[in-house]
Copies of this chain bind each other. A is one copy, B any other.
Amino acid sequence: MKLYDWHAAPNPKRVRMFLAEKGIDLDIVEVSGEGLRLRKDYIEKFPQAMVPMLELPDGRQIGESMAICRYLEELHPAPPMLGRNAYERAVVDMWERRAFDEGMMAAGEVFRNTAEAFRERGLPGFATPVPQIPALAERGRERLGHFFRKFDRQLAGHRYVAGDQFSVADCTAFCSIEFAAWSDIGIPEDCTHLDRWYKDVGARPSARA
């Protein structure tokens, strides 16, 4: 199996963290090209034009980070990264989704709508120009404030995002916070639980995946 990757991007990193935690070794194919764009031969191969993408030995393709993680969890169940029973799986899924929708998406709203290199690329996966929306960048900043505080409250009572076990929800939340830092937005000083968790996760080898 091959994982098509853009090493610098936040979505592929959450999948690489997942792989590192499980000790899964895949062929990694870097597909970033000139001008911070995906390589044309990759877009021809995978018109969805996003990373990461998992290619099976017979050529079948699986896109979307969590679809890739769930597929690999079925093939390599240990250590469990999606929960150990039906209820835990639901809670991991719920918090992973919140980390993505409220953290990763908000960080993306700020970055995609302000970075000079993405001036006509307000959304990923589009061949046509998508103008930046300054008001959306501003809204993204405010959403990140809510995200930090919501996750700080959750981590006041739990070692990890979805409870006592490290899970893919931690990978997504961690990569969202790294992504926010691209726009010089950091964890607020009063979010001490989130900061404790962020340092804890950052010390894991998978944080450098």
Contacts and interface: CB of A to CB of B under 8 A. Distances in A.
Interface of A: 48, 56, 60, 62-64, 66-68, 70-71, 74-75, 86-87, 89-91, 93-94, 97-98, 122-123, 126, 130-131, 133, 135-136, 139, 142-143, 146
Nearest to A82: B70
A74 B85 CA distance: 9
B66 A89 contact: no
A64 B143 CA distance: 18
7 contacts: A60-B87, A62-B87, A62-B90, A62-B94, A66-B97, A131-B135, A133-B136
Oligomer: number of copies: 2
Contacts of A86: 71, 74-75
Nearest to A132: B135
A89 B69 CA distance: 11
Q: Which 10 A-B pairs have the closest CB atoms?
A: A67-B93, A71-B90, A74-B86, A67-B94, A64-B94, A64-B97, A133-B135, A62-B90, A67-B90, A63-B94
A147 to B, nearest CB: 11
A142 to B, nearest CB: 8
A139 B64 CA distance: 22
Nearest to A126: B146
A77 to B, nearest CB: 11
A130 B122 CA distance: 20
A86 B90 CA distance: 18
A61 B115 CA distance: 39
B89 A70 contact: yes
Given A66-B97, A71-B87, A74-B86, 13 more contacts: A62-B94, A64-B93, A64-B98, A67-B93, A71-B89, A71-B90, A74-B89, A130-B142, A131-B135, A133-B133, A133-B135, A133-B139, A136-B136
Nearest to A127: B146
A66 B93 contact: yes
